């Protein structure tokens, strides 16, 4: 008797929740941001996201309503990140969630918080192909987007650069985390498919006092060149040991090594043959506009990983929110994302004037092409980003781009690998 | 309102899962005096064991036998117990801080295995898609979450009651005797080595059960969930709650996890925007201060251990005396 009553109560309560979420159209518009602010590289990513929200507010806010960002720290701990996301979805009723960085945190947030609640989630920095698999089987219900190129695109571009440079036999050093392991297996396939022999593929675990064993193993393979899928910290340590033990200076590096810290610590005399890959298109005016705006705001180069991606994730999702209107559900916001990234739309810049213009056009029901920090981003059916690529080299004065690889060429190369 | 209930149910579920792990540690440290510095390893063994047996087929990962939930549940606990047995055989000769370092090392090693043995554990990407138990019985997510909370709380109560009976039994008294003075216990003919191993395996199996519930709830496990921070969190809960007291262990779990999550919530809500970016570090400092404060001013925990002496006469029969 008692249990029956309780069940009715629960069902009644559950029905209320369904009814209540539609009518909510209060100001300000609350937006959830779950990022690892307690980690050194996580803080600037969060700062960039909050900065975009400020710019959107300056441009008039989402559907005339100011944006209120709720920033929660994930501490790179799945329990903490999921709890933070759950609190924002349940208590603050956010319909849009930005985050997280680690795929190990992003994935449980996606599967146990945002998708069940119908909230849109966009990540600046998670690259795991596991999430693509999830999207392919329909488990993300179209609510998931990311502005970080998947490991698939990154590994294809690295392979293309190695092939264009004429290397016949390479050794891969990869960071021993979810991104690095993904990269290693994808690189292995891509390199072999394009006729390059893989002498060895060697995992580099963080914070080791020495990488002599790994480097010695790599030397044994006697490769023409090495491919580095590493972050600057362990990248510096490995590259130094590699060169000091007589390894080749022919190196191809992932975009994570695009840092002055890496160049200065390794030494320019050893980096003459280094080629870097990046999946963004920093040649567009908007990308340099982002860099200028970032410098004006924070007084330094946006040199950390994921900053333009964080900018674009925040801008695209907030513009889509504007197009969907205040009170929109997560699915309604997600449905408007293609209007913001329509290649045929009116190009808009990544600054306050651009946002103003974009909002006016979107309000009229016209689509725009947002020109962000990583170029004119578009998403495929799985919420994965595709972007043109660029190769770069280190120089005495900084980092110079050398070759621009348009989107069509990147896609054609990926096709040729299959 | 409904959002608050939904969140509290979620919070209660996670806190209850952690409380089960704290109870397991309490049997080891609170009652037997075994310093287990590798809580995360047994938690992870339970979670990975259940995932391998009950998880969905995936070409990238080992196992994925899609066995029924009960078998996956038992398998996870069994794996945790098995790991504990092997670790215990090797390390339980060690005492106190040596045991702590050895078990901590084992936990780090197991995390490295989970991170690197891609054929077995999916590597750093982890394993996903554990079928959530009994989900088909419920129409909507909200009711399901309440039912899952009830399920976890039931298990928590069962573990609590079982452990209470255990520690009040003669067996529990022997464990405490070993904790207080092992030589004295030996002189009375108690096989201390064997009893220490038993307590270690049983406690680790309970921690493994918490791991199984964790993977049932999140449907995802990765090496990140086995990081040393988990061991630290479970220990903090036991220290604040009160080692040796099962009620204290549960209270500590709810309090510390509550402080961990609500500090983030409150800082996000009330801290000025300029400070918000630093809420992560502030949160760490606050939690660290609470633990240091506890250790300085109330080292026995909020609910200290209460030793029930076996009394004859005015004590109700059957409570402790009759079983001795």
Number of other residues whose CB lies within 10 A of the CB of residue B248: 27
Q: Is residue B215 part of a domain?
A: yes
Q: What stretches of chain B show up as alpha helix (H) in DSSP?
A: 2-25, 39-54, 69-91, 96-116, 118-121, 141-168, 170-180, 182-187, 192-218, 228-241, 246-270, 273-276, 279-297
Least confident stretch, A161-165, A208-212, A214-218, B319-323: B319-323
Q: Which of A20, A78, A181 sits opposite B218 (nearest CB)?
A: A78
Minimal C-alpha gap between A88 and chain B (Å): 9
Nearest to residue B43, comparing CAs of B61, B69, B67, B25?
A: B25
Test B225 with A79 for CB contact under 8 angstroms. yes
Mean pLDDT, rounded, for A101-118 = 90
pLDDT at site A412:
83
Average pLDDT over chain A, rounded to whole?
85
Test A83 with B128 for CB contact under 8 angstroms. no
Residue of A nearest to B229 (CA): A77
**Confidence class of residue A169 from pLDDT cuts 50, 70 and 90?**
very high
Test A130 with B7 for CB contact under 8 angstroms. no
Test A91 with B4 for CB contact under 8 angstroms. yes
Nearest to residue B84, comparing CAs of B106, B63, B53?
A: B106
**Confidence class of residue A5 from pLDDT cuts 50, 70 and 90?**
low
Q: Is residue B138 part of a domain?
A: yes
Asked if pLDDT for residue A1 goes beyond 70, the answer is no
Test B115 with A176 for CB contact under 8 angstroms. yes
**CB contacts, 8 Å: A144 with chain B:** none
Distance CA B269, CA B97 (A): 41
**CB contacts, 8 Å: A152 with chain B:** none
Mean pLDDT, rounded, for B134-152 = 87
Mean pLDDT, rounded, for A17-34 = 67
**CB contacts, 8 Å: A214 with chain B:** none
Mean pLDDT, rounded, for A245-265 = 88
pTM comes to 0.83
Mean pLDDT, rounded, for B138-154 = 90
User: Structural domain of residue B165, as residue ranges?
Assistant: 2-226
Terminal Cα-to-Cα distance of chain A (whole angstroms): 62
Looking up tokens 């994925």 gives: B64
Report whether B286 contacts B260 (CB < 8 A): no
Mean pLDDT, rounded, for A156-170 = 91
Test B143 with A91 for CB contact under 8 angstroms. no
Average pLDDT over chain B, rounded to whole?
87
For residue range A368-392, what is the model confidence (pLDDT) as tens digits?
Answer: 988 888 777 888 888 888 777 888 8
For residue range B43-95, what is the model confidence (pLDDT) as tens digits?
Answer: 999 999 999 998 887 666 666 678 889 999 999 999 999 999 999 998 888 87
Q: Which of B50-64, B92-106, B305-319 has the highest mean pLDDT?
A: B92-106
Which of residues A375 and A180 earns the better pLDDT score? Answer: A180
pLDDT at site B311:
57
Test B280 with A177 for CB contact under 8 angstroms. no
**CB contacts, 8 Å: B140 with chain A:** 14
Distance CA B294, CA B296 (A): 5
pLDDT at site A7:
52
Backbone phi, psi, residue A341, to 5°:
-115, 30
Cβ pairs bridging A and B (under 8 Å): 145
Q: Is residue B22 part of a domain?
A: yes
Test A90 with B126 for CB contact under 8 angstroms. no
For residue range A275-293, what is the model confidence (pLDDT) as tens digits?
Answer: 998 766 545 666 677 888 8
Asked if pLDDT for residue A310 goes beyond 70, the answer is yes
Asked if pLDDT for residue A407 goes beyond 80, the answer is no
Q: Is residue B212 part of a domain?
A: yes
Minimal C-alpha gap between B318 and chain A (Å): 34
β-pair type (A399-405, A120-123): unpaired
Q: Is residue B297 part of a domain?
A: no
Residue of B nearest to A185 (CA): B118
Exposure of A342 in the CB half-sphere (CA atoms within 13 A):
17
pLDDT at site B64:
67
- Write down how long chain B is: 324
Q: Which of A72-76, A413-417, B151-155, B287-291 has the highest mean pLDDT?
A: B151-155
Q: Is residue B260 part of a domain?
A: no
Terminal Cα-to-Cα distance of chain B (whole angstroms): 51
pLDDT at site A126:
86
pLDDT at site A280:
60
**CB contacts, 8 Å: B141 with chain A:** 116-117
Interface predicted TM-score (ipTM): 0.84
Asked if pLDDT for residue A4 goes beyond 70, the answer is no
Chain B interface test: which of A35, A108, A113 (most B C-beta within 10 Å): A108
Least confident stretch, A131-135, A239-243, B129-133, B319-323: B319-323
Test B7 with A91 for CB contact under 8 angstroms. yes
Report whether B65 contacts B201 (CB < 8 A): no
Residue of A nearest to B227 (CA): A77
Distance CA A63, CA A27 (A): 10
Minimal C-alpha gap between B269 and chain A (Å): 7
Q: Is residue B140 part of a domain?
A: yes
Q: Which of A79, A176, A178 sits opposite B14 (nearest CB)?
A: A79
Minimal C-alpha gap between B96 and chain A (Å): 28
Test B2 with A13 for CB contact under 8 angstroms. yes
Least confident stretch, A9-13, A120-124, B184-188: A9-13
For residue range A58-69, what is the model confidence (pLDDT) as tens digits?
Answer: 999 998 899 999
pLDDT at site B324:
36
Count: domains in chain B: 1
Distance CA A291, CA A297 (A): 10
Which of residues B200 and A411 earns the better pLDDT score? Answer: B200
How does DSSP assign A320-386, residue by residue?
HHHHH-TT--HHHHHHHHHHHB-TTSEEE-SSHHHHHHHHHHHHTT--EEEEETTEE-EE-TTS-EE
Give chain A's domains with CATH numbers: 25-149+285-386 (3.40.50.2300), 151-278+389-417 (3.40.50.2300)
Q: Which residues pair with A144 in a beta bridge?
A: A121
Asked if pLDDT for residue A352 goes beyond 50, the answer is yes
Determine the number of helices (DSSP H) and then strands (DSSP E) in chain A.
Answer: 16, 17
Q: Is residue B188 part of a domain?
A: yes
Least confident stretch, A156-170, A399-413, B289-303: A399-413
Test B220 with A108 for CB contact under 8 angstroms. yes
Q: Which of B118, B142, B219 sits opposite A111 (nearest CB)?
A: B219
Mean pLDDT, rounded, for B150-170 = 95
Which of residues B171 and B93 earns the better pLDDT score? Answer: B171
For residue range A394-405, what is the model confidence (pLDDT) as tens digits?
Answer: 888 878 878 888
Mean pLDDT, rounded, for B152-157 = 97
Q: Which of B4, B142, B283 sits opposite A73 (nearest CB)?
A: B283
pLDDT at site A121:
96
Q: Which of B143, B276, B281 sits opposite A10 (nearest CB)?
A: B143
Q: Which of A46, A84, A90 sits opposite B3 (nearest CB)?
A: A90
């Amino acid at each position: 008797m008692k249990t029956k009553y309780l069940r009715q109560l629960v069902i009644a309560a559950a029905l209320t929740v369904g009814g209540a979420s539609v009518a909510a159209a209060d100001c300000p518009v609350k937006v959830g941001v779950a990022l690892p602010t307690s980690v050194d590289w996580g803080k600037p990513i969060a700062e960039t996201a909050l900065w975009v929200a400020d710019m959107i507010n300056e441009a008039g806010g989402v559907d005339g309503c100011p944006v209120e960002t709720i920033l929660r720290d994930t501490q790179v701990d799945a329990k903490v990140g999921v709890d933070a996301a759950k609190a924002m979805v349940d208590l603050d009723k956010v319909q849009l969630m930005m985050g997280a960085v680690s795929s190990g945190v992003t994935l449980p947030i996606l599967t146990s918080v945002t998708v069940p609640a119908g909230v849109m989630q966009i990540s600046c920095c998670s690259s795991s192909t596991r999430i693509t698999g999830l999207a392919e089987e329909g488990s993300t219900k179209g609510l998931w987007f990311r502005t970080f190129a998947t490991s698939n695109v990154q590994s294809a571009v690295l392979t293309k650069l190695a092939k264009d440079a004429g290397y016949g036999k390479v050794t891969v050093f990869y960071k021993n985390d979810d991104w690095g392991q993904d990269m290693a297996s994808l690189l292995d396939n891509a390199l072999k498919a394009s006729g390059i022999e893989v002498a060895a593929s060697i995992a580099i675990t963080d914070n080791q006092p020495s990488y002599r064993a790994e480097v010695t193993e790599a030397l044994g393979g006697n490769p023409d060149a090495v491919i580095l899928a590493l972050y600057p910290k362990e990248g510096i340590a490995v590259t130094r040991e590699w060169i000091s033990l007589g390894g080749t200076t022919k190196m191809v590096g992932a975009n994570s090594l695009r840092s002055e810290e890496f160049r200065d610590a390794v030494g320019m005399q050893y980096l003459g043959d280094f080629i870097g890959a990046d999946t963004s298109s920093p040649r567009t005016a908007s990308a340099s506009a982002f860099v200028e705006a970032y410098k004006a705001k924070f007084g330094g180069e946006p040199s950390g990983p994921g900053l333009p991606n964080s900018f674009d994730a925040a801008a695209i999702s907030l513009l889509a929110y504007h197009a969907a209107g205040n009170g929109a559900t997560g699915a309604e916001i997600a449905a408007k994302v293609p209007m913001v990234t329509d290649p045929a739309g009116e190009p808009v810049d990544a600054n306050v004037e651009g946002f103003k213009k974009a909002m006016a056009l979107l309000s009229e029901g016209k689509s725009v092409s947002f020109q962000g920090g990583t170029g004119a981003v578009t998403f495929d059916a799985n919420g994965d980003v595709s972007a043109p690529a660029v190769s770069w080299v280190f120089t005495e004065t900084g980092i110079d781009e050398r070759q621009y690889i348009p989107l069509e060429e990147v896609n054609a190369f990926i096709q040729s690998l299959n | 309102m409904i959002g608050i209930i939904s969140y509290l149910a979620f919070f209660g579920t996670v806190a209850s899962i952690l409380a089960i792990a704290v109870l397991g540690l309490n049997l080891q440290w609170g009652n037997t005096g075994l310093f287990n510095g590798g809580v995360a390893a047994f938690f992870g063994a339970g979670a990975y064991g259940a995932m391998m047996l009950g998880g969905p087929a995936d070409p990238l990962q080992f196992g994925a036998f899609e066995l029924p939930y009960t078998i996956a549940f038992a398998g996870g606990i069994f794996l945790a117990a098995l790991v504990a047995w092997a670790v215990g055989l090797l390390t339980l000769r060690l005492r106190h801080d040596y045991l702590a370092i050895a078990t901590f090392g084992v936990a780090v090693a197991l995390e490295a295995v989970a991170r690197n043995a891609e054929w077995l554990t999916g590597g750093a990407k982890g394993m996903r898609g554990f079928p959530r138990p009994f989900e088909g019985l419920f129409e909507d997510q909200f009711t399901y979450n309440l039912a899952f909370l009830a399920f976890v709380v039931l298990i928590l109560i069962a573990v609590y009651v079982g452990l209470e009976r255990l520690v009040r039994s003669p067996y529990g008294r022997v464990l405490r005797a070993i904790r207080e003075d092992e030589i004295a216990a030996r002189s009375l003919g108690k096989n201390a080595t064997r009893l220490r191993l038993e307590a270690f395996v049983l406690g680790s199996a309970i921690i493994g059960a918490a791991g199984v519930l964790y993977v049932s709830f999140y449907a995802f496990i990765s090496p990140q969930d086995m990081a040393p921070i988990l061991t630290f969190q479970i220990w903090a809960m036991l220290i604040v709650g009160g080692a040796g007291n099962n009620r204290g262990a549960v209270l500590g779990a709810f309090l510390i996890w509550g402080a961990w999550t609500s500090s983030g919530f409150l800082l996000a809500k009330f801290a000025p925007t300029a400070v918000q970016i630093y809420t992560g570090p502030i949160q760490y400092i606050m939690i660290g201060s609470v633990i240091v404060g506890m250790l300085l001013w109330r080292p026995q925990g909020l609910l200290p251990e209460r030793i029930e002496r076996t009394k004859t006469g005015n004590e109700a029969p059957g409570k402790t005396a009759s079983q001795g």
